[in-house]
Amino acid sequence: MTLTNPQGAHIVKTVSVDSTNAASISIEDWVRYELFILEDATVVPTGSVTLTVPAIARRPVVIKNSLSFTVTPTITGQSEAADSVLTGNSTIFGCDGNNLRQAGSDTATYAGVKLNKTTGLTGLSHAGGLEILWDTEAWDTDGFHSDSVETGRITIPAAFNGYYAQFSGAITLTGHVGSYDTNLYLRLSGSTGWPGIPVGQMDVSPTTVDLHIPPTTVLLATDDYYDLLTTGSDTSFGLASDRCYFGMDILGPSA
């Protein structure tokens, strides 16, 4: 099974596990997908399963264990003790190229945040621009987002001052009317005027409009905040509940 996000990038990959009690993920799939679901093959596993993944550093990946046995993901040559995923659980892993570890364990190096919408909205207006608000945190490693105050923002803590990060995001507008132009901006501290601002734009007339900002690398500063703003001429549209997201991945400190 393969699912895709609004940009066409793959999200979910199912991995079948048989009686060898082992499975692996190719390099191509490892860098392409965000969620791997382990399921029984026709001949089911008989014991604990080892999942081998490529030794390539990447942003976090979620591994969901739908088997009847514990799964231990690892990379070839892993020097640290591997973390396991219990039956029925989903776990976020980070890989630094040397070890694959559960996010939050001592050797995990990943930091970042990903926000989703679980509730669709209707009757919205572009008048004055509309900040996208988020109601679900897929993950938030370091308190970048608040789920109660300024919920549209990703705010930079002092610990990440001077770090580089990559932002990405997408929204799907429903009930779009006519040929109104529609834009999606990544704002820096409320401004759409900063150099190199990424913009998604569509000037066509479908009723459903997918907009995304391209992956964008920025240099972070303490207390800066980033959000997504959509603008246009449509005064009555909706936001899809399952096709909108906003994320930031910390890449590392500047030199």
CATH number, residue 207:
2.60.120.40
Residue 107 lies in a domain: no
Q: What does the pLDDT read at residue 235? A: 73
Residue 14 lies in a domain: yes
Q: Are residues 234 and 177 in the same domain?
A: yes
Q: Are residues 92 and 149 in the same domain?
A: no
User: Model confidence over 157-210: pLDDT tens digits?
Assistant: 998 999 889 899 988 888 776 556 778 889 999 887 666 565 666 655 567 778
Q: Are residues 82 and 39 in the same domain?
A: yes
pTM, whole model, 2 decimals? 0.59
Q: Are residues 125 and 199 in the same domain?
A: yes
CB atoms within 10 A of CB 194: 11
Q: Are residues 175 and 233 in the same domain?
A: yes
Residue 89 lies in a domain: yes
Domain extent at residue 41: 2-102
75 Cβ contact list (under 8 Å, min separation 6): 52, 53, 54, 55, 95, 98, 99, 100
Q: Are residues 194 and 96 in the same domain?
A: no
**Structural domain tally of the chain?**
2
Using a pLDDT cut of 70, give the percent of the chain over it. 84
Residue ending a domain, choose from 102, 130, 149 = 102
* Amino acid letter for position 126: H
Cβ distance 144 to 155 under 8 Å?
Answer: yes
Task: Report the C-alpha gap between 108 and 43 in whole angstroms.
Answer: 34
Task: Report the C-alpha gap between 64 and 61 in whole angstroms.
Answer: 10
Q: Which mean pLDDT values do the consecutive 10-residue runs of the chain (255 residues) have? A: 40 90 89 86 92 80 90 88 88 82 62 87 76 90 92 94 90 73 87 66 66 87 94 78 86 75
Residue ending a domain, choose from 43, 72, 102 = 102
